[in-house]
């Protein structure tokens, strides 16, 4: 039912709608019998006629758009008439062409075949005016933007008016209260006043636990620790709250949190988008610049100036150049259909982002025609566009990715912007936005909607390196008298404190945007921002110290109040807010104790499943996950690739990074539930937390409490505790019945490996035990250390690998040249596909298939051979049946590759970390063909390039405990670091059951929603 | 402007909508919410209430397609070798394109000579539509096809042209056709995504995700990549030890805790919706694998689609899954043939015969089977099947005796079947060389307008308010080709 709304009522040309929705009476009443003298007056003209002309006629018939050669905006225009003749018949005014047009419903023109007759009252007024002699005040010219009507905004639109000073009644009230010794926050007075007039009242203050969670997330985007919670709960001093706020504002994590809000506005991403989706090198330095700007409380005016024109500062520092990255963040297509057209697309992106970010105005709508709803002329669009025109807009070398060359910018490692020329060609207004239809050239300048601030930008002296147009734009934007700049930013800040702005369309303060719910308050906040010289931390303090912000979500009158103000625009209670994507991911890391607060630097590449990578045209080659340690950094530092947004984040409404976003959607869909229940990232966190808890306390009751405290910052109630305990006990029982071979061993098995039966390896080749050719020095043979029943050998000298004696951790390594080196193996190694293979290797191949061990044979088992190797860039390949088995990282470095094949599962590990799993055994392998090491069977190809130091093979799928033991030994010998955090094998059933509880809590509404 | 104007600003309304949840299984949430008093109040007071309760942008009561299967031939098949019969090319073979024909030489490749079709054309069905030997199985369905010979588009580059075919504009960042369909029609199955994308195993299309993006719409309208084997969607199941009973136990505890949490708070639809979303997620864990459980299909059906045989196995599976998804109420299913780059797609620069020979052999039998199967099950009338690439190819070669063809956005062919289109019908023509569309031209926006029309949506009414503008798939263009509607 809801689904029908707006859409049916909002065709593209919304103007129709308004007319349709107004009460309509057939046009043309009888001519009025009286009042002629009254209609021949300035008052009548200004009050009755001008609004009609502005609203109904000037869209097509003004001095700019003289459709039918008719200009109705001036007295001269009325007298001159148009193509079809005189507008007014001087002899018989009632017979005037203009009235006939109206009477016949030809004007205003029909829309989609439907007549748009003038409302009777307007038609009547026009008739009277014309009959009485068409009075026109001397020298008066009408302008379609001069006043607001129900169809559009004019220059008198609220957001274009100067900020209003604090109303006297509020000032008086503050004085009264202060005299009475009361603490008073002006915000509360504004809010209370509106609540009262709407028969609403505030909710009581939220409890301290809710408050500390709320303020932590608001200011730093992270949950409080247990210590922080208890410290605050026990702090009864009167300034406990303001100290907490100050403390959080002083933390570097504050800048990280608030930078993220700004990155949405500026469409931040780390790549360009489109086919090649190139890295934007050093984009991260802009991100870090924003973080620093918030942390240092950079005045807002400077924040704007540096982003728009940091390069034009005198003696611009590298940091100033980095700030201009703002202009480089958009998508960029190196292969546009028409590179000439594409310049204008880029200008639109820059105008749109700049005007949305700083002005909250949709200036881009005036690219093809004057704005339909706001007082923005088409010339305004081009005046603003010409500010960016001298920059690297025109088609140039692809390697500069749409920016200046390093020489032009004067800094090699900066993604920045500067003018390419100080004397650019004139930019012309384009008819319908079409570059083939240029109209007159424009003078770069400020937008015209605030006449008192309007200015043409000056041209710098000859020899100046840049046009200084961007600097002048910034100067105009940061005028204290600017009606939009300060309101728009104050509103953004308010929005991130309350979940809604005072204007609920933060990027649109125009006619189609939302009206302010508390205009006087918004003006006061904007004025405060100016007064504090644009210091945003000041505004945080004012807001956070208000009673309005500290209200509870719950209200005793909620049932009644929801009827009156369901969307809570009057703020009679706090909005319940869902954590955003970054806060969810960061919280998971924080509560498990793994969050790495390392700041700044290049973005890390998140782990992306093979399934999600399938969406890329270059698949795995295009994505390399960063190290496990990097994965524990804050989400702010996650690499954003436009062609592959991180699925875990987009599930929770991380916005598309192609256009500016002032406010994210907040959706609730089942895919989010699947993500939080099943995503490996969540499981890793829960397991880490469980293991930590187990290590700290042996008692189950304490463990359960600790899980609750960690995840939800509180103890469970007795009922919650009982449920939790039952869950943990039952899960532990269930997990214990799963055969250890498949998943994880019993605790006893872990603590004492000797208790398990120890199978022997089938074969064990080691570079420690080789026979060398005395002449060539090549490796002739390798002995089998396990049973001695096999041997690896190579008789052809040129195909012999060489021995590097002190290579990895001073251990010897067999070195294969990737051209023709390999070893034959005597005897058959396996009879079925159940096996465990350990090898210590590195890989220096560029790409392509290359094998470690293989029994492929062109005659017997094509498609059903057994082999282990790598393919493409870094994919592991385990027979043809499991050919994209997952990726290795840092393959040039020695690593331990472990493969475990059981009847119903294949898993493999890189240095202890689970990297790939197939939930079925390998189908129908043939094992009656010869084995080789370092190439693909008898293909004479797919040679290994790099070292092989150890190769151990078991003819059974080893249980995890056994596997770990062998891995531990090998790791120690070769100095490798093992990372088993995602390996269920290393966790006991007890801990696994606690992890199960942790997952439930991480999925709970209490975790996801802030009270 | 007055405080309460008839002019909806859109923002707060959309907010409400998305808070509640929509799209992918969103309908269920909406049903749930609409019974709640506060939400009703909100709708009654805060929104203009249109009459009737049809879908957005609806042009009901015309009988419309309920689902759409878009067979995307990624890389751009050659029209003059497949569905646009140009006998004159034989006559002009070896000559150059007349010099008055203006075009962009995409990639600055060699310009060769007019080259006739690489395989012969033959008439199919009673209509006698001429279809080449690359598609012998599809030809058997000639009387179901409505062949659009005069398509043209805005870009000669794969990346931007495919994005345009999917989203209406060459710039990335806009909602795709499937997103608009789901936005307009909702999903008829709460346990499956409304918009499913099945990629080619060789890789995704270039430009990647923006091709199935929700753009500026809420994330719930995004295309969901579906795999034909294993777990079809991301994060459908957790680690092995938690599958089945253990996860059920987790959901039970979660539900207890969430309900307790909710009882202690005043009625909040957000909390209720999120509780509900776990029930839906649980159902989806069963529904999604079931949708791809081809073992439920008969040997005959599997054989008909070419499942288990090469080279048809992969696309055959995908086509068969598409039919199963249609049966389960999924609105929009997009299947990619060709993935990755160059010859892995239909991008036949090297050799039309080699490239199209391979790719057509992969898809011809499965597509024929899909049309047969939909018809036999009575689904063809309510399922719009679309075939086409992001543009076409040149009638001339890439050099003397070179067997490949370069990109051509000026004239290319798509075809529709089912969903209320006229079968055995050819609409629009290219010039006698098959170079550019000349009569009954269908621009990209016209194609989109017509697709939406066939799905019961008016492309001018189906708008989404975004950053000060009512955005639509077809922007200010788009014209419905009424001639092709039966």
Q: Is B311 left (phi over 0), alpha (psi -120 to 50) or beta?
A: alpha
Task: Tell me how close the Cα of A6 comes to any Cα of chain B, in angstroms.
Answer: 7
Tell me the fold of A753-986: Jelly Rolls (2.60.120)
Task: Give me the residues paired with residue A480 across strands.
Answer: none
Residue A621 binned pLDDT confidence (cut-offs 50, 70, 90)? low
A725–B contact, CB cutoff 8 A: no
CA distance A648 to A607: 10
pLDDT: which is higher, B56 or A609: A609
Contact A504/B464, CB-based, under 8 Å? no
CA distance A894 to A844: 10
B229–A contact, CB cutoff 8 A: no
The full set of domain ranges for chain A reads: 2-151, 299-477, 682-744+991-1010, 753-986
Element (H, E) at B13: helix B11-20
Mutate to test the interface with A, among B53, B72, B106, B241 (most CBs of A within 10 A): B241
Task: Tell me how close the Cα of A577 comes to any Cα of chain B, in angstroms.
Answer: 9
Percent of chain A residues topping a pLDDT of 90: 66
CA distance A677 to A689: 16
For chain B, the straight-line distance linking the first and the last C-alpha, in angstroms and rounded, comes to: 46
What number is the average pLDDT over the span A564-570? 92
Task: Tell me how close the Cα of A617 comes to any Cα of chain B, in angstroms.
Answer: 4
What is the per-residue pLDDT for B25? 33
* HEC per residue, A782-796: EEECCCCCCEEECCC
What is the per-residue pLDDT for B147? 98
pLDDT tens per residue across span A673-706: 999 999 989 999 999 999 899 988 889 999 999 9
pLDDT: which is higher, A572 or B475: A572
Residue B143 binned pLDDT confidence (cut-offs 50, 70, 90)? very high
What number is the average pLDDT over the span A852-868? 92
What is the per-residue pLDDT for A622? 65
Contact B170/A984, CB-based, under 8 Å? no
Contact A669/B199, CB-based, under 8 Å? no
pLDDT: which is higher, A747 or A520: A520
What number is the average pLDDT over the span A307-328? 97
pLDDT above 60 for B33: no
CA distance A667 to B22: 8
pLDDT above 90 for B411: yes
pLDDT tens per residue across span A30-46: 444 445 567 788 889 99
Task: Give me the residues paired with residue B439 across strands.
Answer: B429
pLDDT: which is higher, B41 or B314: B314
Residue A660 binned pLDDT confidence (cut-offs 50, 70, 90)? very high
CB A4 within 8 Å of CB B60: no
Residue A742 binned pLDDT confidence (cut-offs 50, 70, 90)? very low
Spatial CA neighbour of A20 closest among B7, B46, B470, B461: B7
CB B122 within 8 Å of CB B110: no
Question: How many A×B Cβ pairs under 8 Å?
Answer: 381
Task: Give me the residues paired with residue A808 across strands.
Answer: A811
What number is the average pLDDT over the span A154-182? 96
CA distance B214 to B167: 9
What 3-state class would DSSP assign to A583?
helix
What is the per-residue pLDDT for B58? 54
> CATH number of B67-232+298-484: 3.40.720, 2.170.120, 3.30.70, 3.40.1350?
3.40.720
In angstroms, the Cα distances linking A282 to A269, A313, B31 are: 11, 21, 48
CA distance B438 to A615: 36
Task: Tell me how close the Cα of A727 comes to any Cα of chain B, in angstroms.
Answer: 7
pLDDT above 60 for B59: no
CA distance A159 to A163: 9
**In terms of DSSP bridges, do strands A931-933 and A913-918 run parallel, antiparallel, or are they unpaired?**
unpaired
**Which residues 880-909 in chain A show a CB within 8 A of chain B?**
905
Contact A667/B158, CB-based, under 8 Å? no
What is the per-residue pLDDT for B243? 82
Collect all residues with Cβ–Cβ distance below 8 Å to A604 and sequence separation of at least 6. A626, A630, A631, A633, A637, A638, A639
CB B321 within 8 Å of CB B226: yes
Spatial CA neighbour of A743 closest among A989, A388, A459, A915: A989
CA distance A509 to A158: 9
What is the per-residue pLDDT for A619? 55
What number is the average pLDDT over the span A380-390? 98
The full set of domain ranges for chain B reads: 11-49+244-283, 67-232+298-484
What is the per-residue pLDDT for B11? 27
Task: Tell me how close the Cα of B295 comes to any Cα of chain A, in angstroms.
Answer: 17
For the record, the structure tokens of A168 come out as 């006297």
Maximal C-alpha separation, chain B: 83
Q: Is B196 left (phi over 0), alpha (psi -120 to 50) or beta?
A: beta
Collect all residues with Cβ–Cβ distance below 8 Å to A314 and sequence separation of at least 6. none
Tokens 């702090």 belong to which residue?
Answer: A235
pLDDT tens per residue across span B61-98: 457 899 999 999 999 999 999 999 999 999 999 999 99
**In terms of DSSP bridges, do strands A875-878 and A867-871 run parallel, antiparallel, or are they unpaired?**
antiparallel
CA distance B81 to B115: 10
What is the DSSP secondary structure assignment for residue A448, as one 8-state letter? T
In angstroms, the Cα distances linking A55 to A30, B179, B211, B469 are: 24, 36, 41, 20
Where helices occur in B150-294 by DSSP H, the ranges are 158-167, 177-185, 245-263, 269-291
Residue-averaged pLDDT of chain B = 85
CA distance A113 to A91: 34
CA distance B30 to A781: 71
Nearest by CB to residue B225, choosing from A337, A615, A672, is A615
**Which residues 285-344 in chain B show a CB within 8 A of chain A?**
285, 339-341
B31–A contact, CB cutoff 8 A: no
pLDDT above 90 for A962: no
Q: Name the least confident of A19-23, A162-166, A985-989.
A: A19-23
pLDDT above 90 for B112: yes
pLDDT tens per residue across span A761-788: 889 999 988 888 888 889 999 988 888 8
B270–A contact, CB cutoff 8 A: yes
Phi and psi angles of residue B387, each rounded to the nearest 5 degrees, phi first: -125, 135
Residue B12 binned pLDDT confidence (cut-offs 50, 70, 90)? very low
CA distance B383 to B380: 5
Contact B241/A743, CB-based, under 8 Å? yes
In angstroms, the Cα distances linking A304 to A149, A309, A472, A474, A526 are: 33, 8, 12, 6, 16
Nearest by CB to residue B199, choosing from A578, A615, A1006, is A615
B468–A contact, CB cutoff 8 A: yes
What is the per-residue pLDDT for A114? 81
What 3-state class would DSSP assign to B209?
helix
């Amino acid at each position: 039912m809801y689904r029908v709304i707006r859409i049916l009522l909002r065709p593209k040309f919304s103007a129709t709608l308004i007319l349709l929705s107004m009460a309509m009476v057939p046009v043309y009443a009888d001519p009025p019998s009286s009042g002629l003298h009254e209609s021949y007056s300035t008052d009548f003209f200004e009050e009755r006629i001008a609004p009609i002309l502005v609203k109904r006629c000037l869209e097509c018939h003004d001095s700019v758009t003289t459709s039918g050669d008719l200009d109705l905006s001036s007295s001269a225009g009325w007298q001159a008439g148009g193509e079809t003749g005189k507008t007014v018949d001087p002899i018989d005014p009632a017979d005037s062409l203009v009235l006939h047009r109206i009477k016949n419903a030809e004007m205003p023109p029909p829309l989609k075949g439907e007549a748009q007759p003038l409302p009777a009252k307007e038609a009547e007024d026009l008739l009277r005016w014309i009959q009485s002699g068409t009075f026109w005040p001397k020298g008066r010219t009408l302008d379609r933007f001069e006043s607001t009507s129900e169809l559009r905004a004019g220059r008198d639109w609220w957001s274009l008016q100067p900020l209003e000073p604090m109303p006297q009644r509020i000032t008086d009230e503050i004085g009264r209260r202060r005299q009475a010794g009361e603490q008073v926050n002006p915000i509360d007075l504004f809010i209370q006043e509106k609540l009262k007039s709407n028969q609403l009242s505030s909710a009581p203050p939220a409890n301290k636990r809710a408050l500390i969670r709320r303020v932590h997330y608001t200011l730093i985007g992270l949950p409080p620790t247990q210590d922080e919670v208890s410290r605050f709960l026990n702090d009864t001093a009167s300034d406990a709250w303001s100290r907490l706020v100050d403390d959080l504002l002083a933390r570097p994590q504050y800048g990280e949190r608030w930078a993220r809000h700004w990155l949405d506005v500026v469409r931040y991403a780390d790549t360009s988008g489109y086919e090649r989706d190139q890295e934007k090198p050093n984009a991260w330095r802009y991100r870090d610049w924003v973080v620093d700007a918030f942390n240092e409380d950079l005045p807002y005016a400077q924040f704007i100036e540096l982003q728009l024109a940091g390069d034009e500062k005198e003696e611009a520092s590298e940091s100033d150049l980095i700030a201009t990255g703002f202009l480089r963040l958009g998508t960029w297509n190196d292969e546009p259909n028409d590179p000439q057209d594409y310049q204008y697309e880029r200008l639109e992106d820059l105008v749109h982002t700049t005007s949305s970010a700083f002005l909250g105005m949709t200036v881009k709508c005036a690219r093809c025609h004057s704005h339909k709803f706001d007082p923005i002329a088409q010339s305004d669009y081009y005046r603003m566009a010409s500010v960016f025109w001298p920059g690297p807009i025109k088609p140039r070398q692809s390697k500069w990715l749409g920016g200046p060359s390093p020489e032009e910018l004067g800094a090699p490692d900066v993604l920045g912007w500067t003018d390419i020329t100080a004397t650019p060609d004139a930019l012309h207004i384009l008819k319908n936005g079409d570059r083939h239809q240029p109209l007159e050239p424009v003078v770069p300048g400020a937008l015209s909607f605030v006449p008192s601030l309007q200015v043409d930008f000056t041209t710098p002296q000859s020899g100046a390196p840049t046009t200084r147009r961007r600097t002048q734009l910034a100067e105009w934007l940061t005028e204290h008298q600017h009606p939009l700049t300060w309101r728009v930013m104050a509103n953004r800040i308010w929005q991130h404190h309350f979940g809604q702005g005072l204007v609920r369309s933060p990027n649109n303060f125009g006619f189609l945007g939302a009206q302010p719910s508390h205009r006087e308050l918004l003006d006061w906040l904007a004025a405060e921002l100016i007064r504090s010289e644009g210091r945003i931390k000041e505004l945080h303090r004012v807001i956070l110290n208000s009673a309005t912000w500290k209200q509870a979500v719950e209200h005793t009158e909620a049932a009644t109040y929801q009827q009156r103000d369901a969307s809570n625009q009057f703020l009679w209670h706090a909005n319940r807010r869902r954590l955003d994507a970054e806060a969810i991911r960061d919280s998971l890391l924080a509560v498990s104790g793994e969050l790495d607060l390392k700041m700044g630097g290049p973005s890390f590449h998140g782990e992306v499943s093979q399934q999600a990578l399938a969406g890329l045209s270059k698949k795995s080659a295009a994505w390399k996950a960063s190290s496990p340690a990097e994965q524990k950094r804050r989400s702010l530092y996650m690499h954003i690739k436009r062609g592959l947004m991180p699925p875990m984040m987009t599930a929770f409404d991380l916005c598309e990074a192609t256009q500016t976003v002032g406010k994210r959607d907040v959706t609730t869909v089942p895919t989010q539930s699947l993500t939080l229940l099943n995503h490996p990232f969540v499981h890793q966190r829960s397991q880490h937390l469980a293991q930590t808890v187990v290590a700290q306390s042996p008692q189950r009751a304490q463990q359960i409490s600790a899980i609750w405290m960690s995840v939800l910052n509180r103890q469970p109630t007795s009922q919650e505790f009982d449920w939790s305990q039952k869950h943990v006990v039952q899960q532990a029982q269930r997990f214990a019945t799963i055969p250890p071979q498949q998943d994880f061993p019993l605790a006893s098995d872990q603590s004492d490996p000797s208790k398990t039966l120890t199978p022997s390896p089938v074969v064990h080749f080691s570079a420690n035990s080789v026979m060398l050719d005395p002449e060539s020095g090549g490796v002739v043979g390798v002995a089998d250390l396990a049973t001695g029943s096999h041997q690896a050998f190579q008789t052809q000298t040129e195909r012999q690998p060489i021995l590097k004696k002190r290579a990895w951790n001073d251990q010897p390594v067999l070195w294969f040249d990737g051209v023709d080196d390999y070893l034959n193996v005597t005897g058959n190694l396996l009879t079925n596909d159940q096996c465990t293979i350990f090898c210590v290797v590195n890989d220096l191949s560029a790409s392509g298939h290359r094998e470690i061990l293989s029994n492929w044979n062109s005659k017997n088992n094509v498609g059903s051979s057994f082999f282990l190797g790598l393919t493409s860039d870094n994919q592991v390949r385990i027979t043809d049946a499991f050919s994209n088995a997952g990726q290795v990282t840092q393959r040039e470095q020695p690593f331990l590759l472990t493969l475990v094949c059981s009847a119903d599962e294949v898993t493999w590990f890189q240095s202890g970390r689970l990297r790939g799993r197939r939930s079925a055994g390998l189908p129908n392998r043939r094992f009656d063909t010869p084995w080789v090491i370092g190439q693909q069977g008898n293909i004479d190809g797919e040679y290994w390039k790099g070292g092989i130091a150890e190769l151990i093979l078991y003819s059974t799928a080893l249980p995890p405990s056994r596997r770990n033991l062998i891995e531990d030994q090998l790791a120690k010998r070769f100095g490798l670091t093992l990372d088993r955090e995602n390996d269920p094998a290393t966790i006991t059933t007890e801990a696994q059951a606690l992890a199960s509880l942790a997952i439930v809590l991480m999925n709970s509404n209490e975790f996801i929603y802030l009270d | 402007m007055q405080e309460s104007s008839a002019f909806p600003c859109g923002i707060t309304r959309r907010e409400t909508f998305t808070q509640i949840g929509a799209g992918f299984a969103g309908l269920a949430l909406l049903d749930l919410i609409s019974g709640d008093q506060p939400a009703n109040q909100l709708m009654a007071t805060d929104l203009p209430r249109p009459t009737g309760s049809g879908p957005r942008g609806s042009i009901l009561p015309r009988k419309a397609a309920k689902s759409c299967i878009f067979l995307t031939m990624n890389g751009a098949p050659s029209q003059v070798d497949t569905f646009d019969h140009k006998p004159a090319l034989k006559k002009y073979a070896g000559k150059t394109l007349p010099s008055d024909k203006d075009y962009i030489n995409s990639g600055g490749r060699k310009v060769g000579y007019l080259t006739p079709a690489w395989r012969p054309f033959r008439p199919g069905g009673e209509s006698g539509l001429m279809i080449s030997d690359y598609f012998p199985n599809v030809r058997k369905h000639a009387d179901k096809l409505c062949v659009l010979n005069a398509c043209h588009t805005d870009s000669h580059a794969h990346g931007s042209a495919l994005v345009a075919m999917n989203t209406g504009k060459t710039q990335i960042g806009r909602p795709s056709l499937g997103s608009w369909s789901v936005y307009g029609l909702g999903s008829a199955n709460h346990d499956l995504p409304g918009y499913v994308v099945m990629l080619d195993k060789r890789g995704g299309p270039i430009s990647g995700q923006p091709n199935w993006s929700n753009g500026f719409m809420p994330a719930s309208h995004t295309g969901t990549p579906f795999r034909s084997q294993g777990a079809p969607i991301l994060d459908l199941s957790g680690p092995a030890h938690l599958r089945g009973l253990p996860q059920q136990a987790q959901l039970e505890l979660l539900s207890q805790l969430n309900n307790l949490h909710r009882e202690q708070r005043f009625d909040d639809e957000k909390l209720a919706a999120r509780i509900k979303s776990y029930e839906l997620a649980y159902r989806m864990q069963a529904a999604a694998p079931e949708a791809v459980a081809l073992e439920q299909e008969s040997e005959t059906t599997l054989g008909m689609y070419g499942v288990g045989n090469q080279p048809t196995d992969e696309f055959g599976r995908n086509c068969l899954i598409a039919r199963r998804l249609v049966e389960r109420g999924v609105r929009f299913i997009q299947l990619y043939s060709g993935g990755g780059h160059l010859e892995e797609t239909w991008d036949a620069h090297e050799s039309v015969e080699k490239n199209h020979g391979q790719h057509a052999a992969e898809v011809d039998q499965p597509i024929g089977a899909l049309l047969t199967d939909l018809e036999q099950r009575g689904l063809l009338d309510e399922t719009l099947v679309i075939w086409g690439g992001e543009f076409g190819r040149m009638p001339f070669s890439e050099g003397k005796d070179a067997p490949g063809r370069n990109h051509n956005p000026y004239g290319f062919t798509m075809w529709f079947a089912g969903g209320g289109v006229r079968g055995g019908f050819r609409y629009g023509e290219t010039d006698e060389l098959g170079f550019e569309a000349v009569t009954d031209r269908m621009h990209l926006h016209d194609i989109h307008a017509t697709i939406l029309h066939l799905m019961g949506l008016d492309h001018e009414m189906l708008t989404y308010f975004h950053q000060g503008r009512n955005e639509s798939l077809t922007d200010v263009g788009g014209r419905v080709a009424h001639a092709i509607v039966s």
